[in-house]
C-alpha cells in the first residue's frame, strides 16, 4: 500500500511538473487554442475534413471568380456582387483554416498575442463584409424584381462600386476599432482559449481589464452591423414576396423566385449559424455546440456558396462549362 501511494504521489508530481514546464515554455504573451485538443483520437479525421473543405472552398470560389471575369454575359451587378462574395469567402477560409491545420498537424496549439489579434481582426472584418454584402445583394434582387424598368439606372456601375467600397470600408473600420481596444487589455487569468480560432467572445472572457467601454462599443457595432443589414434583407424580401404573390401564373412565380432562391439559401445559412453562436442565453451556452456552429459558418458555408450559386443558376453553369473548355466541343 505504501509503495502504491508513493507511486501515485510521484505520478501526480510528474504531471504537475510537465504541465508547469509547458506553461514555462509557452510565452506569457501567447494564447493556447484548445478547440479540438480534448478529443485527440479524432484529430486525424478532423485534419482530413478541414483540409478537404479548405481545398474545395478555395478552388470553388476561385472558379466562380474566374468564370465571372472571363464571361462577358456575367458582367452584371448581381454577378459583380457574387464575385466579391466569393473573394470574401476565400479570404475568410484562409484566415481560419490554415492555422487549424497547422495546430492539428504539429500538436502545437499556441498562437502569439499579435497573431491572435490579427486573426481576430480579419475574422471580424470579413464576417462584417459578408453581412453587408448579403444586404447589398438583397437590395439588388429587390430592384431587379420590384423595379425592373429602373434596374439599369439604379444599379449603374458607379453605384455598384460605391456599395461594395462602402461595405469594405465600414467593415474594416468597425473591426479595427474593436481590435484596437482589445489590444489594450491585459490577460492576467488563464491564456487558454476554448476555441479553434481567436474569436471575440472567448478572448473577452480572458481579459482582466475593465471591459465596460469595449462591451458598449461591441453592442453599438452589433446594432449597426447586424440589425441594419438584416433589416435591409427582411424588407427587401418582404417587397419581393409581395411582388411574387401578384404574379398570376405558378410558372411565373417560380421563374421570379428562382432569381433570388440561391441568395435566400445563403442568407439563411449565414444568419442561422451566427444567431446560434452569438445570440443564445449564457446559461444554455455549450462550448461544443458553439464550436460546431462556428465550423459551419467559418468553413462549411464558404464551401457551399459556390455550389449553391452555380448548381441553381443556368448562366453560372454555362460560364463554368465554357471556362473548362468543354463548352467549345458541345453541339450548338
**216-235 pLDDT, tens per residue?**
888 888 888 888 899 999 99
* Mean pLDDT taken over the chain: 81
For residue 312, name the pLDDT band (cuts at 50, 70, 90): low
Q: What is d(CA 216, CA 232) in angstroms, rounded to the nearest whole number?
A: 24
The confidence score (pLDDT) of residue 218 equals 84
Question: In this prediction, what percent of the chain has a pLDDT beyond 90?
Answer: 34
Of 3 and 245, the structure prediction assigns the larger pLDDT to 245
Smallest CA-to-CA distance from 127 within 310, 294, 288 is with: 294
Helix count (H) and strand count (E) of the chain? Answer: 13, 3
The confidence score (pLDDT) of residue 104 equals 87
Contact call for residues 179 and 124 (beta carbons, < 8 A): yes
> What is the residue extent of each domain of the chain?
30-317
Smallest CA-to-CA distance from 167 within 144, 142, 136 is with: 136
- pLDDT tops 60 at residue 190: yes
For residue 16, name the pLDDT band (cuts at 50, 70, 90): very low
The 10s digit of each residue's pLDDT in 281-297 is: 545 556 666 677 788 88
Of 277 and 111, the structure prediction assigns the larger pLDDT to 111
C-alpha cell at 92: 475568410
- pLDDT tops 60 at residue 65: yes
Topology (CATH) of 30-317: Rhopdopsin 7-helix transmembrane proteins (1.20.1070)
Of 248 and 229, the structure prediction assigns the larger pLDDT to 229
Q: What is d(CA 149, CA 157) in angstroms, rounded to the nearest whole number?
A: 16
Contact call for residues 178 and 124 (beta carbons, < 8 A): yes
Average pLDDT over residues 2-27: 44
- pLDDT tops 90 at residue 185: no
C-alpha cell at 246: 401578384
Contact call for residues 136 and 191 (beta carbons, < 8 A): no
Amino acid at each position: 500500500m505504501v509503495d502504491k501511494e508513493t507511486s501515485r504521489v510521484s505520478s501526480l508530481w510528474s504531471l504537475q511538473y510537465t504541465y508547469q514546464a509547458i506553461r514555462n515554455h509557452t510565452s506569457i504573451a501567447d494564447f493556447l487554442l484548445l478547440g479540438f485538443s480534448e478529443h485527440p483520437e479524432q484529430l486525424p479525421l478532423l485534419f482530413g475534413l478541414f483540409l478537404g473543405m479548405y481545398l474545395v472552398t478555395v478552388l470553388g470560389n476561385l472558379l466562380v471568380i474566374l468564370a465571372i471575369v472571363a464571361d462577358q454575359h456575367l458582367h452584371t451587378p448581381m454577378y459583380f456582387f457574387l464575385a466579391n462574395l466569393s473573394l470574401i469567402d476565400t479570404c475568410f477560409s484562409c484566415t481560419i483554416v490554415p492555422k487549424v491545420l497547422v495546430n492539428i498537424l504539429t500538436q502545437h496549439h499556441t498562437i502569439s498575442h499579435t497573431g491572435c489579434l490579427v486573426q481576430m481582426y480579419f475574422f471580424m472584418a470579413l464576417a462584417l463584409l459578408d453581412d453587408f454584402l448579403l444586404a447589398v445583394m438583397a437590395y439588388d434582387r429587390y430592384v431587379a424584381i420590384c423595379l425592373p424598368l429602373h434596374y439599369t439606372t439604379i444599379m449603374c456601375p458607379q453605384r455598384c462600386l460605391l456599395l461594395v467600397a462602402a461595405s469594405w470600408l465600414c467593415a474594416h473600420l468597425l473591426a479595427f476599432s474593436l481590435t484596437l481596444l482589445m489590444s489594450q487589455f491585459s490577460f492576467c487569468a488563464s491564456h487558454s482559449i476554448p476555441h479553434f480560432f481567436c474569436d471575440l467572445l472567448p478572448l473577452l472572457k480572458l481579459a482582466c481589464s475593465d471591459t465596460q467601454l469595449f462591451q458598449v462599443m461591441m453592442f453599438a457595432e452589433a446594432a449597426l452591423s447586424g440589425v441594419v443589414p438584416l433589416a435591409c434583407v427582411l424588407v427587401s424580401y418582404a417587397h419581393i414576396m409581395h411582388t411574387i404573390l401578384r404574379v398570376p401564373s405558378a410558372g411565373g412565380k417560380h421563374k421570379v423566385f428562382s432569381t433570388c432562391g440561391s441568395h435566400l439559401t445563403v442568407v439563411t445559412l449565414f444568419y442561422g449559424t451566427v444567431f446560434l453562436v452569438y445570440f443564445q442565453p449564457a446559461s444554455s451556452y455549450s462550448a461544443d455546440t458553439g464550436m460546431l456552429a462556428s465550423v459551419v459558418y467559418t468553413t462549411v458555408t464558404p464551401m457551399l456558396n459556390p455550389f449553391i450559386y452555380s448548381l441553381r443558376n443556368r448562366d453560372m453553369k454555362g460560364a463554368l462549362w465554357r471556362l473548362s473548355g468543354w463548352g467549345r466541343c458541345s453541339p450548338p
